[in-house]
């Protein structure tokens, strides 16, 4: 049975929006796109590579899928680009239609959480999620996230879409199972859901 592994860049105030480049996600007037670039460090690729080195599939929501599908197939060959282009991709969306443009992409039918629950039962490989905040929150509500890998940057933006909403969530507890601090001050913390609540 596969596991859902969520990998997210976060600021100290919990913002996850548009870490990669300025035009990545300007929704709600967000103007800090590309904030994670200043803290790049080889340790980040090593940690992410551990979750992408064995058999895995990519799980995304619509917004992340559209941005990835527009960007990664146009990049020069490198291990990360090659892995993303080659891997099987599962896309949760109620507005996209098949056929999807990026190779090896499958549109999930019906409720996203139900579809992911079924995939976890059917697939032997892990489902790795980047970004896709709306999807991740829906999976959290159904206890479908097995591991969080949070790359926490020493930066406060003061605005932007956050991974965990300000309200409407039930109390959740997590256990720290691994942590690495990069030379640029990013803490890479790996958490798994805890059976106990503080």
| Structural domain includes residue 35 | no
d(CA 39, CA 56): 26
Specify the pLDDT at position 169.
61
What CATH code is carried by the domain that includes residue 83? 3.40.430.10
* 115, pLDDT greater than 70: yes
> Confidence class of residue 198 from pLDDT cuts 50, 70 and 90?
very low
Q: Has residue 80 been placed in a domain?
A: yes
Per-residue pLDDT at 113 exceeds 60: yes
Residues forming a β-bridge with 57 = 127
| Structural domain range at position 155 | 4-16+41-193
Domain membership of residue 95 (yes or no) is yes
Contacts of 98 (CB under 8 A, 6+ apart): 107
Domain count, the chain: 1
Instruction: Give the number of other CB atoms < 10 A from CB of residue 85.
Output: 17
What's the confidence (pLDDT) of residue 5?
95
Q: Is residue 25 part of a domain?
A: no
22 lies in some domain: no
- Alpha-carbon Rg for the chain, nearest whole angstrom, is 16
Q: What's the pLDDT at 108?
A: 96
Asked whether residue 135 is assigned to any structural domain, the reply reads yes
Tens digit of pLDDT for each residue in 137-170? 999 989 999 999 999 999 999 999 999 877 656 6
Whether residue 121 lies inside any domain: the answer is yes
User: Please, what is the Cα angle at 85 between 160 and 191, to 5 degrees?
Assistant: 50
Does residue 74 lie in a domain region? yes
Average pLDDT, the chain: 90
Q: What is the pTM of this model?
A: 0.91
The stretch 103-114 carries a mean pLDDT of: 95
Supply 100's token pair: 């999807």
């Amino acid at each position: 049975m596969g596991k859902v592994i969520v990998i997210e860049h976060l600021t100290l105030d919990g913002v996850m929006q548009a870490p990669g480049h300025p035009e990545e996600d300007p929704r709600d007037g967000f103007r800090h796109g590309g904030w994670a670039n200043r803290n790049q460090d080889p340790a980040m690729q090593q940690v992410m590579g551990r979750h992408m080195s064995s058999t895995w599939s990519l799980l995304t929501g619509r917004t992340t899928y559209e941005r990835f599908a527009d960007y990664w197939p146009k990049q020069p060959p490198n291990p990360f680009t090659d892995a993303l282009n080659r891997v099987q991709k599962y896309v949760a969306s109620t507005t996209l239609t098949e056929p999807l443009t990026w190779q090896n992409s499958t549109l999930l039918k019906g409720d996203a959480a139900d579809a992911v629950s079924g995939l976890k039962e059917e697939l032997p490989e892990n489902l790795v999620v980047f970004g896709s905040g709306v999807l991740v929150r829906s999976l959290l509500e159904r206890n479908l996230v097995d591991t969080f890998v949070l790359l926490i940057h020493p930066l406060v933006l003061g605005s932007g879409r956050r991974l965990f909403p300000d309200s409407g969530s039930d109390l959740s507890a997590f256990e720290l199972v691994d942590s690495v601090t990069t030379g640029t001050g990013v803490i890479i913390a790996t958490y798994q859901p805890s059976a106990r609540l503080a």
